[in-house]
Structure 1
Amino acid sequence: MTDSAVSLFEKLVHVDPPGDVPVLFDTACVIGGSIAGLLAARVLSDRARRVVVIESDDVSAQTGPRPGVPQDQQVHTLLPAGQLWLERWVPGFTKEAQDRGAHLVPGKGATSLDGVPQAPDGEDHRLLTIGRPLLETLIRGRITSLPNVSVLRGRATGLGYRDDAVSAVRYVATAGGDHGDAGAEVLDADFVVDAMGRSSRLSNWLGQGGYDQPGLERLEAPINYATALFERPVDVADLEAPGALALFSPEYPSGGVSVAAANPIEDERWIVMLMGYGDSRPGRTVDEFREACAKLPSVFTTATAGAVIGDVVTYHQAESRRRHFADVGRFPARLVSVGDAVASFNPIYGQGMSSAALHASCLASYLGGSPELGSAAREFFRLQQVVVDAAWAVSAGGDAARLDARDGTDVPEDIARQRWAMEQITAATLLDGDVTRAFNNVSYMLRHPATLADPALLARAVAANEEAATAT
């Protein structure tokens, strides 16, 4: 990745609301009202007289899990990059979340590898720990309270075109009932955002309209989650360890647990997640869950000591995916795609919500750059590719390395060198705070992964690891 991509990524992390700017559209439409769609709607609210979010779920009074987000009962943490974006574009959001019971917990000392905690990085990064349903409800409440943003309950069924540009969204209104169709309708729109998630139907619609479809890249990475809620009788301020992320290498005997996370969230609860790869399905019952946690760092025993709330909730994802919009040939103008509709990867890396925020930053940068709206939004997709490449490198790259190690797969020499370098960096985070700082800045989506390829940083990591090996 070039230096220009590194600097561009960091500019996108810090994109601010534009202030008083010209209105570009009469009506903008966002298809999908999850977090990526809502953040896109926030950006468009500065550029359109009216923003309509089409969402099939009933979100009029939604505060709990909803059908359109099957993973929303799993652990979600808002990384610093995502939190910074929300605070700039939705001022006061963090305090509102805390007032509702969410917590800003220190990242320092929270991450461990094979039971050994990271070396302190000297930073004071804070992670917002909150249940996904509450997080989404708060974001939706703030953004739909804007005078020009509204939610239309319906199921989008296709697009309309005029002069090689998207001009309308076809939909079926569902406000009258859970599945009762009120007949096909058309919303005229000057700009459309696909935020339909992993199951986005945009590619099919493009093909039906005679346009090229983005290439779909798949990475087989079968992951199995088990998540449970437990009562938390101790205030977060009094906890010895207010949260943890435990990572385990394939060689480490962890009872099938590859990753585990424990977060204090609203309503005096712990949310605890265990994840296994392939055939490993840890903690499917409460007894199995507690037994597995007893073998992990002590915070997991603490988190699961209280009364369990509800059942253990499982979630399976067979693969990571990304759609290559930047490479598409013939593509309609006034149309973009964001969030999981573009790239969805292993949620344990926590990059999904912050990626959605950075996709919104890409949209803001594109619209603020005097775009040629009569042509395909190639500049937007170029910006977005920088973000997707960065997130994909961290998440899919880590999954691929683990699966290759498990299966004994031979990898090309250049990939092997990259993975060796990453192993050196990761191991050195247990020893050297400067390496930890660089690694965490990438993990938190504040810096581009290419910054970890700095020869001086790699040399420092190798030296720390060699010194530790000599000492033992």
Structure 2
Amino acid sequence: MRRAVVVGGSFGGLLAARVLADFAEDVVVLEPDALDVEGAGPGAPHRRQLHALLAMGHRQLERWFPQITDDLLSGGARLGTGAAIQFYVDGTLKAPVHDAQMIGTTRTFLERVVRQRVRSLPGVRSVAGRATGLIVREGRVQGVRFTAGGNEAEHELDADFVVDAMGRSSRLGAWLEHAGWPAPALDRMRVDLGYATASFHRGSELPGTVIAHSSPGPSTNYQPALSEPGALVAVEDDRWAVVIAGYADYRPTRDPVAFLARMRRCVSPLQEVALKCELASGVETFHFRESQRREFTRLTRFPGGLVALGDAVATVNPIYGQGLTLATLQASSLAAHLRSGASPHEPARGYFRRVAVVVDAAWQLCTTADLAQPHITGPYPCGYPVLRWAADRITEASVTDPEINRTYMDVVNMVRHPRALTHPRTLLRTARHLLTR
């Protein structure tokens, strides 16, 4: 390709630019927000919330940016392994996965390091502007229209290939319809999640902990008020980043006193930080109303030279931490599609089929869990009561059985497909474990 344009310069857009650098002479990242030194522009208020990079996301990131883990660690990020990664269900610490690895960092720092790597690539450049539409001719996208500098005058940027990385608020559907093409169908599940993040000064407390995560489970009927959901992560600048979450009327507020009170009702690592550490920031809140996925594979007509990536394809309940990892896997799907020899000027059906496998797995995992919440009313998949019962039994067994927990955490970390939890070997071991108990 001569030129590829990525619309949106957040995490997913940066990964798309990295992939396209291997296939295009000129890669342009079109980004409307002037990102500050913390990497948090006005267009992404959730950037300052605690984000997770799951194990598969970490692998893919290292694949695209070799030795980036060293860059992150030299900047103060922490690498957790084995028992330093602690997952609690209903207040009980789960069996450890001894060779597990997760990196502790804020999203702003992670994005800053990725942005530095992308900017150093030959042939990649940034253009400050807000995309206003697509240039579609002869059945394919041939460029992007945009405005710049607060001026309403439109400019045109020609391209052989365009990536929509505009995030959850992507306007791609409206642009397609304006150009005479159908918009992808949108699946929704109302979640009504609220979460709040604050940072604390980190000292010598919890020397063996990098990540601690607590979630409600079967014994509390998944009710947050009975098993306070939250997480803490050791991050750069000698800080603890702490997130507290809740649904519907139990959403956390910006009140630091209430935030600390909820931490003291959570599992012991969060209690200890609440009691021993000083707040280093205010409390930032965010409201996530619904999970969404755009069904590009259902379209019978789609222009060539165009794909969507990241939150522009799907956003799932952030309590499961899948967002950044989904973006890395979609970027790898884009690379696989282009390496297959598919023409960038043709409809990218192979790309969207690959992405659907990843997105559908994440959607299945999070929506099955979300439907256990009393305030979520569906839609329920066929056979949901059986799925829910089996998932509860596997969750219970994973608390104390190391082998089941390894499979469980591989699925949570998107290393393995959710079908691994219904493998006969896993189900048989779960049954044996529960009978023995």
TM-score scaled by length of structure 1: 0.88
Distance 2:349 2:376 in 1: 39
Cα distance change of structure 1 residues 147 and 428 upon mapping to structure 2, 3 Å threshold: same
Question: Residue by residue, what CA displacement relative to the aligned partner does 1:70-112 show, whole Å, maximum 9, x if unpaired?
Answer: 1111111211111111111111111101111111112545101
Find the counterpart in structure 2 of residue 397 from structure 1. Answer: 368
Partner of residue 5 from structure 2, selected from 8, 20, 29: 29
Find the counterpart in structure 2 of residue 43 from structure 1. Answer: 19
Partner of residue 308 from structure 2, selected from 323, 326, 337: 337
Cα distance change of structure 1 residues 316 and 240 upon mapping to structure 2, 3 Å threshold: same
Question: Residue by residue, what CA displacement relative to the aligned partner does 1:42-95 show, whole Å, maximum 9, x if unpaired?
Answer: 000000000000001113x53242212211111112111111111111111111
Find the counterpart in structure 2 of residue 385 from structure 1. Answer: 356
Question: Residue by residue, what CA displacement relative to the aligned partner does 1:148-181 show, whole Å, maximum 9, x if unpaired?
Answer: 111111000000012100001000113xxxxx22
Partner of residue 191 from structure 1, selected from 140, 147, 161: 161
The 5-angstrom pairing of residues 175-254 of structure 1 reads 180-181=150-151, 183-234=153-204, 239-249=207-217, 250-251=220-221
Question: Residue by residue, what CA displacement relative to the aligned partner does 1:307-335 show, whole Å, maximum 9, x if unpaired?
Answer: 11221111101100000001112110010
Percent identity over the alignment?
39
Distance 1:57 1:189 in 2: 21
Partner of residue 68 from structure 1, selected from 29, 36, 43: 43
Q: Secondary structure at the match of 1:462?
A: helix
TM-score scaled by length of structure 2: 0.95
The reply on whether 1:127 has 2:95 as its aligned counterpart is no
Cα drift, residue 204 of structure 1? 0.2
Distance 2:224 2:207 in 1: 25
Q: Secondary structure at the match of 2:128?
A: strand
Distance 1:311 1:396 in 2: 31
Distance 1:74 1:257 in 2: 21
Cα distance change of structure 1 residues 64 and 234 upon mapping to structure 2, 3 Å threshold: farther
Find the counterpart in structure 2 of residue 86 from structure 1. Answer: 61
How many residues align? The count is 433
Cα distance change of structure 1 residues 408 and 58 upon mapping to structure 2, 3 Å threshold: closer
Q: Secondary structure at the match of 1:273?
A: strand
Distance 2:377 2:417 in 1: 29
The AA in structure 1 aligned to 2:79 is L
The AA in structure 2 aligned to 1:392 is W
Distance 2:120 2:105 in 1: 21
Question: Residue by residue, what CA displacement relative to the aligned partner does 1:362-399 show, whole Å, maximum 9, x if unpaired?
Answer: 10000000114443111110000001011111222211
| 2:78–2:210 Cα contact (<8 Å) kept | no
The AA in structure 2 aligned to 1:327 is R
Bigger shift: residues 26-35 or 109-118: 109-118
Q: Secondary structure at the match of 1:417?
A: helix
Runs of at least 5 residues in structure 1 that lack an aligned partner in the other structure: 1-24, 175-179
| 2:228–2:265 Cα contact (<8 Å) kept | no
Q: Secondary structure at the match of 1:224?
A: strand
Distance 1:409 1:336 in 2: 30
The reply on whether 1:349 has 2:325 as its aligned counterpart is no
The AA in structure 1 aligned to 2:336 is S
| 1:78–1:354 Cα contact (<8 Å) kept | yes
Find the counterpart in structure 2 of residue 4 from structure 1. Answer: none
Question: Residue by residue, what CA displacement relative to the aligned partner does 1:223-270 show, whole Å, maximum 9, x if unpaired?
Answer: 0111111111228xx614332100113536754665201011111111
Cα distance change of structure 1 residues 461 and 152 upon mapping to structure 2, 3 Å threshold: same
The reply on whether 1:53 has 2:29 as its aligned counterpart is yes
Cα distance change of structure 1 residues 154 and 362 upon mapping to structure 2, 3 Å threshold: same
The AA in structure 2 aligned to 1:224 is G
Distance 1:46 1:315 in 2: 36
| 1:431–1:464 Cα contact (<8 Å) kept | no
| 1:257–1:282 Cα contact (<8 Å) kept | no
Q: Secondary structure at the match of 1:317?
A: strand
Question: Residue by residue, what CA displacement relative to the aligned partner does 1:323-365 show, whole Å, maximum 9, x if unpaired?
Answer: 0001112110010000000000111211111110000011000
Output the aligned Cα RMSD.
1.9
Runs of at least 5 residues in structure 2 that lack an aligned partner in the other structure: none
Distance 1:210 1:439 in 2: 45
Partner of residue 393 from structure 2, selected from 421, 424, 428: 424
Distance 1:192 1:254 in 2: 42
| 2:303–2:347 Cα contact (<8 Å) kept | yes
The reply on whether 1:271 has 2:224 as its aligned counterpart is no
Partner of residue 115 from structure 1, selected from 80, 83, 91: 91
The reply on whether 1:146 has 2:114 as its aligned counterpart is no
Partner of residue 103 from structure 1, selected from 73, 78, 81: 78
Bigger shift: residues 275-284 or 337-346: 275-284
Distance 1:252 1:425 in 2: 15
Cα distance change of structure 1 residues 54 and 252 upon mapping to structure 2, 3 Å threshold: closer
The reply on whether 1:261 has 2:237 as its aligned counterpart is no
Q: Secondary structure at the match of 2:282?
A: strand
Distance 1:448 1:412 in 2: 18
Distance 2:309 2:379 in 1: 34
| 1:274–1:283 Cα contact (<8 Å) kept | no
Distance 1:257 1:119 in 2: 19
